[in-house]
Amino acid sequence: MTTKTNTTRAHLAPLIVDVAVPLGSFYLLKDGFGTSTLAALAWSSVGPALRTAWSVVRERTANGLALLILVVNVVGLVLSLVSGDPRLMLAKDGAVSSTVGIGILVSVALGRPMMTAAVRPLMVRGDAARDAAWERLVSGTRTGSAVFRRKERLFSVVWGVVLLAECVARVVGAYTLPVDTMVWLGGVFVAVAMTIGFTVSGGLAVETMKRLLADEVKSAEEAVPAPARALALAGQGS
């Protein structure tokens, strides 16, 4: 239960920082303190930018995608302040979505689906047997490897397309709707995009991957002689 709770918190924390905090900050600064729309947008964008920067520092790796998102955030913020156009700042969020979406699609083309880093921990759940089964399936040597790897790529493609669609919606909304409306509607776009992404990727890829993973685990267990399997189970229980 604790592990599941920690995993949920880990997935919700970025969403809170990127959506809830900027939204609340915007209305607090604009309506509570009377700042201009541009200033409220600028200050409310600081949280997500800092979170991205902190993730780069914390991981201590050259995460190209995270660095690119940070650059897009900073450049968009600077351009918005220079131009004095709050709509450009709202469109900047669409640029972030498109950056991630394009990065995901490129990773699929290169044979290294980026969204695997997100779906694998959820399927493996820290179980050594499931983790080993995953490795065997992606190695291409197992009966279900071809289908598994195809679904793995499809999972990333779905998310890449969804994020690009969200980008289009954000940019169109930024230049056609009132700024105050688009501030809260941006959060709705995120929620809708995530719902579509989880639903479509689940139906097209995740369920099949779960079945193949379970079959591979079962196949590996059946390949172990009964005495050795009983000894292993006894060792786990001690």
Contact 58, 43 (CB under 8 A): no
Query: pLDDT tens track of the chain, all 238 residues?
Result: 444 445 444 544 555 555 556 666 665 766 667 676 666 666 666 666 676 667 666 655 545 556 666 666 666 667 666 667 788 878 877 877 888 889 889 999 999 898 888 889 889 988 899 999 999 999 888 888 999 999 999 999 999 999 999 999 989 999 999 988 888 888 888 889 989 999 999 999 999 999 999 999 988 887 766 555 455 555 555 5
User: If you ran DSSP here, which 8-state letter would residue 34 be given?
Assistant: -
Helical H segments across the chain, by residue range: 2-15, 21-27, 37-44, 46-59, 64-83, 86-109, 116-124, 128-138, 145-176, 179-201, 207-223, 226-237
For 79-97, the pLDDT digits (tens) are 666 667 788 878 877 877 8
For 103-118, the pLDDT digits (tens) are 889 999 999 898 888 8
Mean confidence (pLDDT) of the chain: 77
Ramachandran region, residue 120 (left: φ > 0; alpha: ψ -120 to 50; beta: rest): alpha
Q: Where are the domains of the chain?
A: 2-224
Residue 1's pLDDT is what?
46
